[in-house]
């Protein structure tokens, strides 16, 4: 199977990004982030929990290769006037003048007018490049499909929680990248559950992190999958997914069997899946 492409266009944001992105909430060392960048990963998500290793790596990379980076700042703020404070603090922490993406985090209904206006003002000032939205209420996203103020969607998708296949991805069919939001998926390992042999159904192989990222990226509606490596080995598994490429039908069916078993045996799974 051929490897995933080195770069794709992230929907109407127009950004050229790697198929894999990295989150700031985990404990991989600086050297692992540097290796990922050297192997083509350029989507760095500076989220709500921020570890010093990613900060150091971003500052080092920004020194002479800033144009290669796509930096995402996240804010959960529901107060418009605080959004700018958050963005300025994030830019200052990373030592950069502009973030390519501002992610309005965990909105299960459309952001308020004040929050959206504040985000648009930051865009006009050149402090951010485009606006992304994350949600656990998937049915919100198709209602925003033609709202070009939102350039990117962040949503949960993995072999356990596959509701996006019904509720989001069909709305994107037939659209060229410039005519739809870019799609970024997260929680590919379902918080590690998919890689836990204690949760694997009898007779099935336990997926690795590599398998989980490949599963998400094998869906043609997913442009980029976020990874959260806690150490160098987990970073290695994430990067191996890029070279391994899309899964075949037998592999996808195996991942779904494992996912269905975990879903059926997890208390609160339907709540976590947004049903």
Give whole-number Cα distances, 102 to 75, 109, 206, 257, in Å.
8, 17, 36, 36
List, as one string, the DSSP characters of 14-33.
--EE-SEEEESSS---HHHH
Half-sphere exposure of 133 (CA within 13 A, CB side): 26
Instruction: List beta partners, residue 102.
Output: 73, 131
Task: Specify the pLDDT at position 1.
Answer: 62
Task: Specify the pLDDT at position 161.
Answer: 97
Task: Specify the pLDDT at position 275.
Answer: 44
**Domains of the chain from N-terminus onward:** 8-272 (3.20.20.100)
Per-residue pLDDT of the chain in tens (275 residues, 90 and over written 9): 689 999 999 999 999 999 999 987 667 899 999 999 999 999 999 876 566 888 999 999 998 899 999 999 999 999 999 999 999 999 999 999 999 999 999 999 999 999 999 999 999 999 999 999 999 999 999 999 999 999 999 999 999 999 999 999 999 999 999 999 999 999 999 999 999 999 999 999 999 999 999 999 999 999 999 998 989 999 999 999 999 999 999 999 999 999 999 999 987 666 566 54
Closest CA to 162 of 191, 126, 138: 138
Task: Specify the pLDDT at position 92.
Answer: 94
Q: Determine contact, residues 192/211, Cβ cutoff 8 Å.
A: no
Give whole-number Cα distances, 234 to 53, 132, 210, 227, in Å.
15, 27, 9, 9
Instruction: Return the exposure string of 34-62: e unless at least 16 CB atoms fall within 10 Å of the residue's CB, then b.
Output: ebbbeebbbbbbbbeebbebbbebbeebb
């Amino acid at each position: 199977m051929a490897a995933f492409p080195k770069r794709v266009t992230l929907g109407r944001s127009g950004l050229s990004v790697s198929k894999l992105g990295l989150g700031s909430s985990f404990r991989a060392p600086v050297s692992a982030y540097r290796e990922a960048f050297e192997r083509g990963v350029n989507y760095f998500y500076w989220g709500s929990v921020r570890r010093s290793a990613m900060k150091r790596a971003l500052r080092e990379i920004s020194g002479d290769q800033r144009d290669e980076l796509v930096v995402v700042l996240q804010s959960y703020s529901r107060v418009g006037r605080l959004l700018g404070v958050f963005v300025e603090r994030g830019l200052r922490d990373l030592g950069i003048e502009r973030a390519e993406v501002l992610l309005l985090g965990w909105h299960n209904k459309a952001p308020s007018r004040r929050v959206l206006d504040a985000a648009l003002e930051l865009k006009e000032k050149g402090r951010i490049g485009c606006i992304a939205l994350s949600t656990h209420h998937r049915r919100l996203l198709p209602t925003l499909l033609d709202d070009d103020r939102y350039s990117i969607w962040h949503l949960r998708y993995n072999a356990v929680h596959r509701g996006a296949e019904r509720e989001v991805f069909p709305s994107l069919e037939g659209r060229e990248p410039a005519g739809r939001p870019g799609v970024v998926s997260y929680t590919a390992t379902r918080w590690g559950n998919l890689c836990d042999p204690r949760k694997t159904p009898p007779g099935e192989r336990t997926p690795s992190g590599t398998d989980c990222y490949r599963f998400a990226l094998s869906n043609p509606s997913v442009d980029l999958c976020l990874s959260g490596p806690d150490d160098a080995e987990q970073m290695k598994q994430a990067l191996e997914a890029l070279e391994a490429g899309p899964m075949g039908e037998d592999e996808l069916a195996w991942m779904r069997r494992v996912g269905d078993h975990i879903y059926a045996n997890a208390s609160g799974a339907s709540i976590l899946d947004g049903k």
